[in-house]
């Protein structure tokens, strides 16, 4: 087999590892192995590229890989689980930026290329650049660097004009090689990514991250065709397809079309549309809550972003184990959009060592809430708001929720009396069967553990 044949065979094997790795990531039991498999495929594809005919700049390649690998290793080890969504947004943006950079090199270089190749290069440049700048804005929002969404009059018209002009210049680039025009094209694409993400509320960030992940994969796949690189084509296609499916699933879990997520400004306007909830908040102390939990037959725990912020997952699992030792049946209920990224709560619970067979999604657990003596909600908000089921005037009406309000008793651990990330008041907190347990989730969990031990 020739050298090129060995490289292509390596790319094929890498692609198989990508696909098998992704398949294994579909289950928590095999997800860790799936990541290792996909990582091995990436290492193989990278090593094979060093032997590509005509390849040069080996020194720069080694330095870039060493620097990038060192930064990724250091940040990956240090990042807190609460910061994982913004790290994913940032890394995803880097992928889109890399695809755009590849396109920029090919487009600025010029030369004779088939029209189809140039078309894919331009499309990949546009999509990758939008994913890059949009992901950076998403990172800034999740990191707290941007405190609120930005809106201005005729914003969608301006956005459409910027996109249309970028598309026109991209179309001209198919036939005219003009570096100044290409610079304006990339600047417009960067601007559109920023403008599209600025008005999106924080509550919609899980969907936005999934969307940009899909765009990054698509851009990488396009540039794979430009470079005639099979590994990039397959990897980009797999990422683009899975990201698109995940985006659709996330939007479905919120019962909102993707256009509504991107263009409605839900995160800033929902509070105004929701109105006020009648009733009063009824507090409870940790001792009484501990007694209620300890003497229950079934407890369903619903984690949310409040658990992530407090890094309380280990204490919550310790509490669950104590309850099980007393004969209490304990289950965990996860909503698809709980937290700040897809699977956020699943990752936190897995880190704490919660067995996979105790974690249930919305469809599996909802029928059990009426038989639960206590539903313990930890920092979750919109995903347990009964207005989504009962109030046609609510902005989240029709959104599938966890039926926490149907439990015999509800205890909500919350840092304060403020509204959730989307700004909507939660009717669950005012229900007759709900008691509010205020405080940092980790501190509260510690008090609950002590209360149960003293019984």
Q: Which of 288, 357, 382, 405 is catalytic?
A: 382
Number of residues that make up the chain: 455
For residue 322, how many C-alpha atoms fall within 13 Å in the half-sphere facing its CB? 22
Nearest-angstrom CA–CA distance, 324 and 444: 19
Nearest-angstrom CA–CA distance, 136 and 146: 11
**DSSP readout, 221-249?**
HHHHHHHT-HHHHHHHHHHHHHHHHHHHH
Q: How far is CA 181 from CA 119, 171, 358, in A?
A: 16, 11, 57
| Tokens, residue 264 | 């409605």
Nearest-angstrom CA–CA distance, 260 and 256: 6
Which H or E run includes 412?
Answer: strand 410-414
Nearest-angstrom CA–CA distance, 398 and 162: 34
Does residue 357 carry a catalytic annotation? no
For residue 303, how many C-alpha atoms fall within 13 Å in the half-sphere facing its CB? 33
Residue 3: Cβ within 10 Å count? 10
| Tokens, residue 39 | 């990582």
Q: What's the maximum distance between 2 C-alpha atoms anywhere in the chain?
A: 80
**Under a CB-based contact definition with an 8 Å cutoff, are residues 322 and 446 in contact?**
no
3-class DSSP assignment, residue 102: helix
**Active site amino acids:** 382
């Amino acid at each position: 087999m020739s050298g090129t044949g060995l490289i292509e065979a390596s790319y094929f094997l890498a692609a198989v590892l990508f696909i098998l790795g992704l398949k294994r990531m579909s289950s928590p039991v095999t997800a860790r192995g799936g990541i290792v498999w996909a990582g091995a495929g990436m290492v193989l594809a990278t090593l094979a590229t060093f032997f590509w005919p005509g390849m040069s700049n080996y020194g720069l390649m080694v330095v870039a890989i060493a620097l990038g690998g060192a930064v990724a290793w250091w940040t990956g080890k240090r990042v807190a689980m609460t910061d994982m969504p913004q790290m994913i947004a940032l890394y995803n943006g880097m992928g889109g930026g890399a695809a755009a950079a590849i396109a920029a090199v090919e487009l600025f270089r010029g030369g004779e290329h088939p029209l189809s190749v140039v078309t894919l290069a331009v499309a990949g440049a546009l999509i990758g650049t939008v994913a890059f700048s949009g992901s950076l804005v998403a990172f800034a929002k999740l990191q707290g660097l941007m405190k609120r969404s930005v809106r201005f009059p005729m914003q969608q018209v301006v956005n459409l004009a910027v996109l249309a002009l970028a598309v026109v210049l991209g179309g001209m680039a198919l036939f005219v090689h003009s570096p100044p025009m290409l610079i304006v094209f990339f600047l417009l694409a960067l601007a559109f990514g920023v403008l599209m993400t600025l008005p999106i509320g924080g509550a919609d960030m899980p969907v936005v991250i999934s969307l940009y992940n899909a765009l990054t994969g698509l851009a990488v796949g396009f540039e794979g065709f430009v470079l005639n690189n099979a590994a990039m084509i397959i990897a980009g296609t797999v990422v683009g397809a899975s990201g698109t499916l995940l985006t659709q699933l996330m939007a479905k879990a919120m019962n909102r079309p993707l256009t509504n997520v991107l263009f409605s400004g839900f995160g800033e306007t929902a509070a105004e549309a929701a109105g006020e909830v009648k009733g009063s908040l009824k507090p409870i102390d940790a001792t009484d809550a501990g007694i209620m939990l300890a003497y229950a037959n079934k407890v369903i725990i619903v984690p949310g972003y409040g658990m992530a912020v407090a890094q309380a997952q280990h204490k919550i699992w310790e509490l669950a184990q104590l309850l099980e030792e007393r004969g209490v049946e304990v289950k965990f209920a996860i909503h698809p959009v709980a937290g700040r990224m897809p699977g956020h709560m699943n990752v936190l619970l897995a880190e704490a060592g919660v067995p996979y067979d105790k974690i249930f999604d919305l469809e599996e657990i909802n029928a059990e809430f009426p038989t639960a003596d206590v539903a313990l909600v930890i920092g979750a908000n919109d995903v347990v708001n009964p207005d989504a089921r009962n109030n046609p005037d609510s902005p989240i009406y029709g959104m599938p929720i966890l039926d926490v309000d149907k439990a015999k008793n509800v205890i909500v651990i919350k840092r304060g009396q403020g509204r959730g990330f989307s700004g909507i008041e939660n009717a669950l907190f005012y229900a007759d069967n709900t008691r509010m347990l205020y405080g940092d989730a980790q501190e509260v969990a510690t008090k609950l553990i002590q209360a149960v031990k003293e019984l």
